[in-house]
Amino acid sequence: MKARIQKMISIKSVLFTAVMLFIVSALTLAAGHDPVSISGTVDLASFTGTATVIIGSEELECEVAVIPMQPPEPKDGGLYFPEVQHVFTFEDGSTLTTTGEEFAMPTDENPAILTLHGNMEIISGTGVLEGASGELRVNGQMDWSIGQATFNANGAISR
């Protein structure tokens, strides 16, 4: 009986958490935030590349520069980047800048390939993105054997 009650409480907690996340997401989008997703490829020698930024239903192509603001540190068998900045520059000259932290962990299959995870804050924008702000969750892969990183980021943006 005690185990059954604990299981019911656990199920209710999961359902409550899911409902709260849905409500917070809906309120965030209703409060002037648009969904944003970014995917791109970066050359690991120059830390520059290209990306596609989708804000709502608007798709924009751009160049991206990745700027490690501090050197990476070894951590838990991987590399921890304590502060990384991304500057996205669009064809019309508008920019979007993010800052955050990333963690890269070697894969079991090939130590030259690292999975990449991070949280980024949209800290500024210029041009049509003037005053942009928001949050992104970044996932990707750094493949040192070919010198390339690929990434996807998802979140919300306010402008």
> pLDDT digit string (tens) for 43-52?
999 999 999 9
Closest CA to 63 of 101, 107, 93: 93
62: Cβ contacts below 8 Å, ≥ 6 apart: 50, 51, 52, 53, 88, 89, 90, 91, 96
Look at residue 32 and tell me whether its pLDDT is greater than 90. Answer: no
For residues 138 and 99, what is the distance between their CA atoms, to the nearest angstrom?
Answer: 11
Map residue 12 onto helix, strand or coil: helix
- Alpha-carbon span 117 to 153, nearest angstrom: 10
pLDDT band at 56 (very low <50, low <70, confident <90, very high): very high
Q: Which residue has the higher pLDDT, 50 or 15?
A: 50
* Residue 59 in this model has a pLDDT that exceeds 50: yes
- Please report the pLDDT score of residue 157 as a whole number: 96
pLDDT tens per residue across span 90-121: 999 999 999 999 999 999 889 899 999 999 99
Q: Of all residues in the chain, what percent carry a pLDDT higher than 90?
A: 75
